[in-house]
């Protein structure tokens, strides 16, 4: 290793050979002591790079880390999934985007969850947003320290429960006793297709369901 100054220059230049490659670069300093330290650091960085040792990433804002993560995921995600992730980030970044990924704590996540609840967002939606945050922080190596203290919101498990054959039979019998002649075909159609009330109603009114006309069911 050696340091020298070009004629007429007060700035030290480092000059050394590593793996057969000549390195000659300015240290940018007039101090020989500091120039020696810069040269040592530069050589060490080159040796670590040649050995395949990864450098530690500089702290980044969540907004920057999110952009990098999404750019990588675009190649593997379906277009609709990309849209969902963008929607999640549209809620996350205004609240957490200016924080460094290394500074985000479990309390920040809990505060975000509460704010979204106050905005009447559903637990499922909030969990999806936290899932996006988790993916970004995992890539940055910061999720593990938050994971023990971050709790996902409880979602309802009784939504969309399939009725039993006995319940179906009882339901149709009850519909048959109704004064409304449209009730049996309407409910039968819903059971057979699994469609929701609004979909069945719209289909009947628009005569989109073969064999059952809107005027036969009397749906208004």
- Nearest Cα neighbor of 137 from 84, 56, 79, 61 is 61
**Number of structural domains the chain divides into:** 3
The model's pTM is: 0.50
Higher pLDDT, 218 or 145: 145
DSSP 170-192: HHHHHHHTSS-TTHHHHHHHHHH
Q: What is the CA angle 17-22-25, rounded to 5?
A: 100
Q: Does the pLDDT at position 117 exceed 50?
A: yes
- 55, part of any domain: no
On the question of pLDDT at 203 being above 80, the answer is: no
**For residues 124 and 155, is the Cβ–Cβ distance under 8 A?**
yes
**Residue 158: what pLDDT?**
55
Residues 132 and 182 in one domain: no
- Cβ neighbours around 100 below 10 Å, total: 15
For the cut 50, the answer to whether the pLDDT of residue 212 exceeds it is no
Average pLDDT over every residue of 185-211: 63
For residue range 157-182, list pLDDT tens digits in order: 555 667 788 888 888 888 888 888 77
* 189 within domain boundaries: yes
From CA 141, how far away is CA 137, in angstroms rounded?
A: 6
Distance, in Å, from the CA atom of 127 to the CA atom of 211, rounded to the nearest integer, reads 42
Residue 20: left if φ>0, alpha if ψ -120 to 50, beta else—which one?
Answer: left
Specify whether 89 is located in the same domain as 128: yes
One domain, residues 128 and 77: yes
Residue 88, both tokens: 């999640």
119 & 78 share domain: yes
Within-domain flag for 128: yes
- Domain of residue 195 covers 165-217
Measured CA to CA, the distance from residue 31 to residue 196 in angstroms comes to: 77
Tell me what pLDDT residue 217 has.
40
The whole-angstrom distance between residue 27's C-alpha and the CA centroid of its chain comes to 42
Helix and strand counts by DSSP (H, E) for the chain: 9, 3
- Give the pLDDT confidence of 41-69 residue by residue, as tens digits: 888 888 877 666 555 556 789 999 999 99
* Domain presence at residue 74: yes
70-87 pLDDT, tens digit per residue, is 998 888 888 888 999 999
The answer to whether residues 18 and 73 belong to one domain is no
């Amino acid at each position: 290793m050696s340091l020298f100054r070009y004629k007429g220059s007060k700035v030290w230049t480092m000059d050394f050979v590593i793996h057969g490659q000549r390195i000659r670069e300015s240290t940018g300093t007039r101090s020989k002591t500091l120039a020696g330290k810069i040269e040592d650091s530069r050589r060490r960085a080159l040796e670590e790079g040649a050995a395949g040792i990864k450098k530690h990433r500089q702290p980044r804002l969540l907004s920057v880390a999110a952009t990098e993560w999404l750019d990588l995921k675009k190649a593997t995600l379906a277009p609709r999934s990309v849209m969902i992730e963008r929607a999640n980030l549209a809620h996350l970044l205004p609240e957490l985007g200016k924080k460094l990924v290394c500074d985000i704590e479990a309390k920040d996540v809990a505060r975000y969850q509460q704010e979204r609840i106050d905005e009447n967002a559903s637990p499922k939606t909030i969990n999806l947003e936290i899932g996006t945050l988790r993916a970004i922080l995992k890539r940055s190596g910061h999720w593990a320290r938050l994971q023990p203290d971050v709790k996902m919101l409880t979602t309802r498990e009784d939504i969309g429960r399939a009725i039993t054959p006995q319940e179906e039979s009882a339901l149709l019998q009850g519909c048959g006793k109704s004064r409304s002649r449209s009730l049996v075909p309407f409910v039968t159609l819903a059971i057979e297709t699994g469609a929701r009330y609004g979909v069945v109603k719209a289909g009947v009114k628009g005569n989109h369901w073969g064999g059952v006309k809107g005027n036969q069911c009397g749906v208004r």
